[in-house]
Structure 1
Amino acid sequence: MMKNLKFYTLFISLAFILFGLTAQAQNERKFVRQGNKLYEQALADTTKQDTASYNKAEIAYRRAIEKRPDDLKWNFNLGDALYKQQKFDQAQSTFEDIAQKSTDKAEKARAYHNIGNSLLMQKKLDESIEAYKEALRNNPADLDSKYNLLYAMNLKKQQEQQQKNQDKNQDQNKDQDKNKDQNKDQQDQNKDQNKDQNKDQNKDQQDQNKNQDQQNKDQQKKDQQNQNKDQQQNQQQQQQQQKISKENAERLLQALQNDEEKIQEKVKKAQAAKAQQRQTDKDW
């Protein structure tokens, strides 16, 4: 869109040349004519930006200005050649010098117009807007300056909107980063809580296992004691049974002995009776 900017150019024609100038003046005009020719050739070729021809035109204008540095028209042409070579800062300086020195409002308006263009190409929107306004103060009917002023103001509006969107995006990114930090803090907190819970659970489990082990040990001890007690009781019962059995055996044996003595006594009595009977039979 920059190529749509309106730009003023100014050439020196033979109509501005006064008669009766010296031979030195003729040489100066020769440089100006040479510069104008090169400038027009480069301007006519719309297929490319012929910076080489603009540079040659600049050299020609400077050689003329060396002889007449206060010639505002030749300086104006020099500013045009600089602008076409995209030497915007040098062009700006040249047009500012013209605007300060010129007393003609139309000429000052053209100079400020081109100052605005040079500033705009350097992306200095606020300064370019002020330059176009100054051009319109000197020539309120200048439609080209009005057009460029609106163009610059529209660019500034777009730039402000872009900056606003960028700030909004940055705020959103900050909010997202803040949310990320909050989420991270929450995750860390949950992690710590889980860690503490797991630690407590592990401790409880360990205590529970420890209690269970103690209970198992107590139960085993109790079982062992009961088993020992049962074994002692069994041993006592066995001993008692053995003792009773021995006593019974002794009583039985005594009884048998008593019976045997009785039998023997009976046998003896029977034998004695039988022997007495035999004796009696012999006496008969």
Structure 2
Amino acid sequence: MRVFSFNFFGNMLRSMNGAYILVVSLFLTGAVFGQTDREKRKLMNETNQLLADASEDLNENNFPQAEADYRKAVAIDPLGETARYNLGNAYYNKTMNEEAIRRFGQAANAATGKPEKHKAFHNLGNAYMNTKNYQAAVEAYKNALRNNPTDEETRYNLALAKDLLEKNPPQGGGDDNKDDENKDNKDKENEDDKGENDDGKDGDDKKEEDKGEEKDENKEGDNKEDKGNPDKPNEQKEGDKPQQQQPVPGKLSPQQVKNLLEAMNNEEKKVQDKINAQKQKGAKVKSNKDW
């Protein structure tokens, strides 16, 4: 994965993964305001040396030391974006996405130029994509495009993030789920009540049956037949004349559901066609940008 790099003096160091790490002579910041020129130069030299050391550490696969050097550079220049951005890239390449998100966010806030803001927001969006926070990724890519509307890689990633967000919307509706659960429980209670009432009715029928036996044993069969099937006429009536299903208020008709699904599929196809047209290798976030 490549990372963009810019340098005021043309000095660039290549990291272990081919990414360019910025080695920049720092200009005057709030941290050094009011200091003598000699003190400023000393701080700039220290910061440049730490950035160079961190890059060398990464080349030697010594991530802990590189992280320490970047942190020292941040401490020397607390208002600068360079060390934060490069530290964010180091975390990103180690799949330490939460730390990368934090550092990219700091770099984006500290950056004063549009190119630097664009790259920080672009990489911030990539880190959010790794955590499947597609909603935050969409916002990060939008901020990146506000600072560089012509970047096609950012546009591609934004389209991909939007597509994944539509397919994986943020989980919500806790109250709705609770209402559905309460409704199911209520329906179950009603069914239980109905079952208890039916049991009581069967007991009454049995008593009537016994009473008929005592009065006239010759009519026992008729009485049992009549009382044992009290619901048959009604069942026959319901069978002869099925009830017409009434529309439920607020519920979409089958045709409306079909139309809605077709519209959604058409929108999704447009996004997918755009993504496929730009890259045939599948849905993959495009590379990080180097400073």
- What's the CA shift for 1:110? 0.6
Q: TM-score, normalised by structure 1?
A: 0.52
- Determine if contact 1:9/1:80 at 8 Å carries over to the other structure: no
| One of 158, 169, 185 as aligned partner of 1:160 | 169
Structure 1: gaps spanning 5 or more residues? 1-5, 43-52, 210-284
Does the CA contact (< 8 Å) of 1:55 and 1:81 recur in 2? no
Indicate the structure (1 or 2) with the bigger Cα radius of gyration. Answer: 1
C-alpha change, 1:25 and 1:175, in structure 2 (3 Å) is closer
Q: Equivalences for 1:124-203 in 2 at 5 Å?
A: 124-160=133-169, 183-203=191-211
Is residue 112 of structure 2 the alignment partner of residue 93 of structure 1? no
The corresponding residue for 1:29 is: 48
Kept in 2, the 8 Å contact 1:113–1:135? The answer is yes
Equivalent-residue separation in structure 2 for 1:17 and 1:120 (angstroms): 29
Structure 2 residue aligned with 1:263: none
Indicate if the aligned counterparts of 1:120 and 1:152 stay in contact, CA closer than 8 A: yes
1:14 aligns with 2:11: yes
Looking at structure 2, the residues matched to 128 and 24 of structure 1 have their Cα atoms a distance apart, in angstroms, of 35
Structure 2 runs not aligned, ≥5 long: 13-22, 26-37, 218-291
Aligned equivalents of 2:2 and 2:139: distance in 1?
Answer: 17
Q: Distance in 1 between matches of 2:108 and 2:170?
A: 33
CA spacing shift, 1:121–1:161, aligned 2, 3 Å: closer
Higher relative contact order, structure no. (Cα contacts within 8 Å, ≥ 6 residues apart): 2
1:134-181 deviation digits (Å, cap 9, x = unpaired):
1111111212211221221121111139989xx89x96x998877766
RMSD of the TM alignment (CA)? 3.9
CA shift at 1:54, angstroms?
3.3
Q: How does 1:1-284 map to 2 (within 5 A)?
A: 8=3, 10=5, 14=11, 25-40=44-59, 42=61, 53-160=62-169, 183-206=191-214
CA deviation digits over 1:13-47, x for unaligned, max 9? 736566x99676555433322211333455xxxxx
Corresponding residue of 2:259:
none
d(CA) in 1 for partners of 2:85 and 2:44? 19
Deviation at 1:83, TM superposition (A): 2.8
Task: Report the Cα distance in structure 2 between the residues aligned to 1:147 and 1:29, rounded to whole angstroms.
Answer: 34
1:31 maps to a residue whose letter is L
SS in 2 for 1:199: helix
Judge which range, 186-195 or 173-182, deviates more: 173-182
Q: Which consecutive segments of 4 or more residues in structure 1 shift more than 6 A?
A: 161-164, 173-179
Distance change >3 Å, CA 151–CA 56, structure 1 → 2: farther
Question: Structure 2: how far apart are the matches of 1:86 and 1:9?
Answer: 19
Contact 2:80-2:111 within 8 A present in 1 as well: no
Query: Equivalent residue of 1:55, what SS?
Result: helix
User: Kindly tell me: are residues 101 and 207 of structure 1, through their superposed partners in 2, closer, same or farther at Cα, counting changes over 3 Å?
Assistant: same
Asked whether the 8 Å contact 2:125–2:137 carries over to 1, the reply is yes
Please tell me whether the aligned partners of residues 115 and 128 of structure 1 are also in contact (alpha carbons under 8 angstroms). yes
Task: Give the structure with the larger helix fraction.
Answer: 1
Q: What percentage of aligned pairs have identical amino acids?
A: 26
Aligned-partner residue type, residue 157 of structure 1: E
- Would the alpha carbon gap of residues 10 and 78 (structure 1) be closer, same or farther in structure 2, given more than 3 Å must change? farther
- CA 1:34–1:203 in structure 2 vs 1: closer, same or farther (change >3 Å)? farther
1:11–1:120 distance in 2 versus 1, CA, 3 Å:
same
